Amino acid sequence: MLPERELTQTVDLCLPNGKLNPQAVGWSRQPLQNCQLFGHPLRKKRWNYWCVTSPTHLFSVTLSNVDYAGLPFVYFLDFATGEFIEKTIITPFGRNVSLGDHVRDDASFSVEGCRISMENVPGGVRILVDIADFEGKPLKADLRVTEPEMHESLNVVVPWSERLFQFTAKNNTLPTAGRILLGGDEIAFTPENSFATLDFGRGVWPYQGFWNWASFSTRLPDGSTLGGNFGAGWTDNTGSTENALCVDGRLIKLSEDVIFSYSTQNFKSPWKLRTAETKRVDLTFTPFFERVAKTDMVVIRSEVHQMIGHFDGMMLGENGEAIEVRRAVGWAEDHHARW
């Protein structure tokens, strides 16, 4: 696969006529893209997804708008007990979901009994969640995500055609502090071992799609951070990938496919992830929890098997140095959608 073009200047994703701006195709280390979308009534997809992990818990909050519906959702997992709670709210035509056109824009959602905000503050993002009934319990979350100075993220445009395209920003290894109050329990997140990952998406998708996505963040024995973001399926044959490593805040773009090998008959069996052309990535992912999310709203049908687990194996750094990955908390998913 040929190297992808690295962008260094701000650029509009979409032209006023609704077509993909050819100058936006490529990737960047910082979010330089203006993702305002024109045209394509009822076909635009926009979302801000945050997931925070620690050695003991996972907490995720998403605000999404797929034009004909808004889909805010929140989920929580306790690794030790297996307690899993998920709440999804569906709003017609994205009502009450506020999303910006830039990665660093604020996002929010508010209805009676549920308030969510993702506010950009100096040095990072503050995530606030207040849900009156989270499977019978009140939920309050206050998390502060820190983005270190000069930290690099993956920002890439995937071009299916001049009228179908997607911008994705993936940002991981972000130290996170704060707490969740769930019923009478308090769950603390500390920046030494808790990390947030952002998945920001804006684009115009084909009606039917499939993708794999895997991500992890961890701290190495020397105190530096290590993250990986890998995808397959949806980027095939586009000349773009969402594959990258992040070593202590430095992004290493992988312009080659990552092969996901796993059993669709038993998603809980180990997964294998490896780069197709080199030995840059050779990982085993061992799930310990399966999140299954299904949506069937006639025009919207999706099924995702998101596996939570640990990554182990080897990766090669920017200069070919071997980096060992040991029990890094993360996820890998299989997602089919008609939307």
- Measured in degrees and rounded to the nearest 5, phi and psi for residue 24 equal -85, -15
- Each residue's pLDDT tens digit, 262-303: 999 999 999 999 999 999 999 999 999 999 988 776 667 889
- Each residue's pLDDT tens digit, 208-250: 999 999 999 999 999 999 999 999 999 999 999 999 999 999 9
Give the pTM. 0.97
Instruction: Identify whether 82 is part of a domain.
Output: yes
- Each residue's pLDDT tens digit, 133-145: 999 999 999 999 9
**C-alpha angle 57/60/64, rounded to 5°?**
175
How many folded domains does the chain comprise? Answer: 1
Instruction: Identify whether 1 is part of a domain.
Output: no
Question: Which residues are registered as beta bridge partners of 145?
Answer: 125, 176
The rounded distance, in Å, linking the Cα atoms of 23 and 5 is 10
> Domain range holding 158?
11-338
Instruction: Identify whether 6 is part of a domain.
Output: no
Q: Is the dihedral of CA 65, 211, 278, 238 positive or negative?
A: negative
Q: What is the pLDDT of residue 298?
A: 65
Instruction: Identify whether 69 is part of a domain.
Output: yes
- Each residue's pLDDT tens digit, 35-78: 999 999 999 999 999 999 999 999 999 999 999 999 999 999 99
Instruction: Identify whether 19 is part of a domain.
Output: yes
Instruction: Tell me if 208 sits within 8 A of 229, measured CB to CB.
Output: no
Q: Does pLDDT of 24 surpass 90?
A: yes
Average pLDDT over residues 142-166: 97
Instruction: Identify whether 269 is part of a domain.
Output: yes
Average pLDDT over residues 252-260: 97
The rounded distance, in Å, linking the Cα atoms of 322 and 18 is 44
Instruction: Identify whether 250 is part of a domain.
Output: yes
The rounded distance, in Å, linking the Cα atoms of 210 and 208 is 7
The rounded distance, in Å, linking the Cα atoms of 329 and 339 is 30
Tell me which residue has tokens 């024995």.
Answer: 221
Average pLDDT over residues 138-157: 97
Q: Does pLDDT of 170 surpass 90?
A: yes
Q: Are strands 114-121 and 107-111 parallel, antiparallel or unpaired?
A: antiparallel
Question: Which residues are registered as beta bridge partners of 19?
Answer: none
In a 3-state reduction of DSSP, which class is residue 23? helix
User: In whole angstroms, how large is the CA radius of gyration of the chain?
Assistant: 19
The rounded distance, in Å, linking the Cα atoms of 240 and 1 is 9
Instruction: Identify whether 3 is part of a domain.
Output: no
The rounded distance, in Å, linking the Cα atoms of 26 and 231 is 16
The rounded distance, in Å, linking the Cα atoms of 290 and 241 is 26
Average pLDDT, the chain: 96
> 172 vs 133, 237, 260, 285, CA distance in Å?
30, 26, 20, 18
Instruction: Tell me if 325 sits within 8 A of 311, measured CB to CB.
Output: yes
